Structure 1
Amino acid sequence: MQTFAVKDGWPAARRRWTDRLPADVLTALDEAVEFALLQHGDQKRPAGEPYLEHLLEATSVLVDAVGVTDADILRAAVLHDVVEDTDCTLDQVRERFGDRVATLVDWVTKPPRDEGVSREQARAAYLERLRGAPDEAILVKLADRLSNAQRLDTHPRREKAGAYYDETVRSVLPLAEPHPWFRDWFAAWRIAFAGLGATG
């Protein structure tokens, strides 16, 4: 099972992608990374790594494994959590990066919970909504989930890791089915991490 790590930051990733991505796409990513860093600040992931690592891992999946070269899809991967996890608004994303990037970010952003709706119900509704998302948004979501899932055994809360495993098997693997690379990766991941969940 292939894993993805971008621990050496954007400049090193950028150098690595000079042969894979056109210069204008790299320039577009420069702006997205700068914006993401500004918005996420010193946020950390659950295992303590800088937030940018996750964003670049998701982007790396799309570039290095899937072969995506579309600037808007890659910028959406870098920006996929700015609305959900910071004070940034979708309008700010749209103003800075255009309608298409904002639309992709919107698809992968969990909306605020309505009053009387449990966290579990809200997550279920969000994942169900993704079934109607365009392929480009699904690619961003699958890359995001892969980054989170690939080291799920390092999550500091075992119970939450188990619930995340089960949710991934139930709701994300079906999204991967039409995308052969993701389908095969998540099939291998399901076996490798089966000990975490109830669904196996």
Structure 2
Amino acid sequence: MAPRMLLSMPLHAITEVYGEAGLRQRFGLELESFPEPEREQLTEALDLAAALHAGDRRVREPYLNHLLRVAIRIIRYYEIRDVDVLTAALLHDAVEDHPAELAGVTGDLPYPELTEAALAELARRFNPRVSELVASVTNPEYDPRRDRHEQYREHVAESLERDPWARIIKISDFTDNGVGVIHTTLEKATRSAAKYRPLVPKLRELIGRPDTPLGTAAKEHILDQLDLAEERFAAILDD
């Protein structure tokens, strides 16, 4: 593949044509302008994410593709170069999906204690801010008596209210899942649309706030992406 051509390709196009190798190469190209210590931290975060999610898949692709797209989108389209935010973006599902492996715990622990142990390991490996950012986008243990999707939306709204930097990670994650909803099976697309569609107005409001640390161009880009996601949700659910 022509390396520089990757810089002009949409992320899902890279995924379709070149797969994980193409996304890794694109991420490497994005990192070239970062100073060496920051590149080292982000490379360590990518290696950890790759190890933790090695056996995970998202229907047709390795799970790592999603994490790479989330991080690349933040650099390229949101113009964010905060290394802690990018580290947390690469690891935003690590605590939720692989807390025992991350924490190095072999015995059974209640979910809250396991989560805390995993977050403590992120603070040790990187720094407390990375751990706090991941905590803000990690789902809690749900009440089995209540609707899971409703609890998810409540958690997202509450956590993003108090953590403006976490909004950047969540909106990139949401964009990958929402705008990218057409890149999966109809069954999964229908589930995802039902889960995410009611969250769009809240995300739109949060992105528009003055304390959300994004430039005007990035906010406009995100709002356009939310409109596109809403169109796709409607096409799936209202057909």
TM-score of the pair, normalised by structure 1: 0.85
SS in 1 for 2:57: coil
Write the mapping of 1:37-48 to structure 2, written as runs, cut at 5 A: 37-45=50-58, 47-48=59-60
Tell me the equivalent position of 2:228.
188
Distance in 1 between the 2:178 and 2:149 partners?
Answer: 19
* Whole-angstrom CA distance in 2 between matches of 1:176 and 1:36: 27
Give 1:100's aligned residue: 129
Alignment of 1:135-146 (within 5 A): 135-146=164-175
Task: Name whichever structure is richer in helix by fraction.
Answer: 2
Q: Work out which of the residue numbers 157, 160, 174 in structure 1 matches 2:191.
A: 160
| Count of paired positions | 197
Larger Rg computed on CA atoms: 2
Please tell me the residue identity of whatever aligns with 1:119: R
- Paired with 1:182 and 1:144, the residues of 2 have a C-alpha distance of 12
For 2:70 and 2:181, locate their aligned partners in 1 and report how far apart those are by CA, in whole Å.
15
Letter in 2 for 1:98: N
Percent identity of the aligned residues? 24
2:35 to 22, 27, 32: 22
Residue 88 of structure 2 is aligned to residue 76 of structure 1: yes
Q: Per chain length, whose mean CA-contact separation is higher, i.e. which structure has more relative contact order (CA < 8 Å, sep 6+)?
A: 1
Distance 1:102 1:192, change over 3 A: same
CA–CA distance in 1 between the matches of 2:75 and 2:133?
Answer: 17
Matched with 2:26 is 13
Contact 2:193 2:233 in 1 (8 A): no
Quick check: 4-13 or 154-163, which moved more? 4-13
Q: Say whether the 8 Å CA contact 2:179–2:226 is kept in structure 1.
A: no
Q: How far apart are the structure 2 equivalents of 1:20 and 1:190?
A: 34
Q: 1:111 to 1:38 in 2, by over 3 A?
A: same
| 1:44-71 Cα deviation digits (max 9, x unpaired) | 01x3210110000000110111111111
Query: In structure 2, do the counterparts of structure 1 residues 184 and 92 end up closer, same or farther at CA, with 3 Å as the change threshold?
Result: same
Contact 2:24 2:68 in 1 (8 A): no
CA contact (8 A) 1:161 1:196 kept: no
Name the CA distance, whole Å, in 1 between partners of 2:64 and 2:192.
21
Against the structure 1 CA distance between its residues 164 and 192, is the aligned structure 2 distance closer, same or farther, given a 3 Å change threshold?
same
- What amino acid maps onto 1:34 in structure 2? D
Residue segments in structure 1 that go unaligned for 5+ positions in a row: none
Q: Structure 2: any 5+ residue segments left out of the alignment?
A: 1-8, 103-117, 210-218
Is the partner of 2:135 in helix, strand or coil? helix
Q: Secondary structure at the match of 1:150?
A: helix
Calculate the TM-score normalised by the size of structure 2. 0.73
Q: Please give the secondary structure, in 2, of the residue aligned with 1:66.
A: coil
